[in-house]
Structure 1
């Protein structure tokens, strides 16, 4: 509960509040993916790999540039916390903050995921989403957010008077990345970053602005599909909160595995080429 304001409103308070908002990043000039070109090569794709992400745990996979991958619900409602890296350079990774600024709080069909500075380029494009019908509900909730940070054992420790829980998504991702790369846990942990919350239904409360979650609408057979713009290393945790209808880190929530499918199209999308690293000269005015 936020404290009651102690400052009296000024005489022009209503006028100040009535100022119309301005979108921070006008994106009319932002290069957009030609979704029709991607979708034209989806028919007849060859399934070339699968990875099962166990419940309350995480797993990694690689996707070559020019391939598709799907995150699939197979057994029950389950949320996944997704990290993405340049498979050839782990310093380049998903930047949820800029992805959010350029697309919105939740991503879906046709949106692109951007990498961190100084690379700042699209690394994956969402080409299909069986939950695109959901939109925004009456509470302001929607699916596939880039606003949450991932459940982690440090916050859990802070809010639970010192309890140690090791299957938060942050720890799951750390273990999986260490296993996939041969790094130690201390070496792997700094690479773990804010996530795309796949299938999670979230928003901000209208009265307090607090981040909320509610039961995911995902059902077996639903999937979120991406096109790899560069060689990708994916790492995803099947959240210990299950469908996140009540809590994040939990040994009691019903949890299910998630399936990752990797597809090779017969040809590349017409006119496609891998995005170049951002063209800024990095002189910073000097």
Structure 2
């Protein structure tokens, strides 16, 4: 018998404690809001200037200037993608999935932003169009585009299986960054970070609270589109789990490419807009 099997006596006020209502940790009433009307108007006249394909079980890097747009599209079959973002000029500023989750929730959609890490803490990109926004929450608590999962990686794969596997999203993103920036693989691996799981349908089980995945509702033609708030280097991995309906980090799942397109707005379309400055905290930490 383990400690988990031992009977547990409930305190007399157990139900009263459970009944305490929750409080939102970070109320966002004062959070600066994106001007989606301006962004979408600028997008309407934008011209495509680049495209990149993330091949199945591989990743592709791309560059987007502040004020431009990028779109991630399913082109052949159901496929999820793991997205990393860095400041194009400073790789020390990168996407902070944990704080993004704390501000917006476990899954992102229209109007939500991808925030950068400390001490910068500013918007890197804003979602302006999501063709899967209709999905909402299903009966299992599943939602789409999560900032829960960390990315499939070769270290956890080896821990659980004892095998090396080099097409986990962490390794895919590492190779894409190393090639794009001309740096050694070890340096690139240290800059890869927790992701936005584009198109992935996930949640937490009600009984054990475990992170789950299920078949993505994405279909060819579905896309997630972003406005670049700063100059960005991005990398997108076409996850080896395919639509994540069964497993990831293997060659068993059917996988498909993902298309990344970059669009530039017409001159003057974003009049009055500017990138957000880095966070204004003094950095003294009380000393």
Q: TM-score, normalised by structure 1?
A: 0.97
Q: Is the 8 A contact 1:66 1:268 kept in 2?
A: no
2:264 maps to 1:264: yes
1:141 maps to which residue?
142
Aligned length in residues: 284
2:251 maps to which residue?
251
2:8 and 2:94 mapped to 1: Cα distance?
Answer: 43
CA offsets, 1:183-231, max 9 Å, x none? 1111111100000000000000111100000000000011000000000
2:240 maps to which residue?
240
1:14 maps to which residue?
15
Q: Compared with structure 1, are the counterparts of its residues 5 and 184 closer, same or farther at alpha carbon in structure 2 (3 Å cutoff)?
A: farther
1:132 and 1:95 mapped to 2: Cα distance?
Answer: 22
2:225 maps to which residue?
225
- How far is 1:4 from its partner? 4.5
1:205 maps to which residue?
205
2:254 and 2:164 mapped to 1: Cα distance?
Answer: 21
1:6 and 1:187 mapped to 2: Cα distance?
Answer: 50
2:190 and 2:10 mapped to 1: Cα distance?
Answer: 44
2:8 and 2:274 mapped to 1: Cα distance?
Answer: 55
1:6 and 1:68 mapped to 2: Cα distance?
Answer: 57
2:11 and 2:227 mapped to 1: Cα distance?
Answer: 52
1:36 maps to which residue?
37
- How far is 1:271 from its partner? 3.1
Q: Compared with structure 1, are the counterparts of its residues 57 and 5 closer, same or farther at alpha carbon in structure 2 (3 Å cutoff)?
A: farther
1:129 maps to which residue?
130
1:105 and 1:98 mapped to 2: Cα distance?
Answer: 10
1:8 and 1:170 mapped to 2: Cα distance?
Answer: 44
2:105 and 2:281 mapped to 1: Cα distance?
Answer: 24
2:119 maps to which residue?
118
- How far is 1:66 from its partner? 0.4
1:193 and 1:83 mapped to 2: Cα distance?
Answer: 7
2:216 and 2:133 mapped to 1: Cα distance?
Answer: 13
Q: Is the 8 A contact 1:100 1:146 kept in 2?
A: yes
SS of 1:100's partner is helix
Mind listing any 5+ residue stretches in structure 2 that lack a counterpart? none
- How far is 1:7 from its partner? 3.4
Q: Compared with structure 1, are the counterparts of its residues 5 and 81 closer, same or farther at alpha carbon in structure 2 (3 Å cutoff)?
A: farther
Alignment of 1:49-68 (within 5 A): 49-68=50-69
Mind listing any 5+ residue stretches in structure 1 that lack a counterpart? none
- How far is 1:248 from its partner? 1.1
2:279 and 2:132 mapped to 1: Cα distance?
Answer: 31
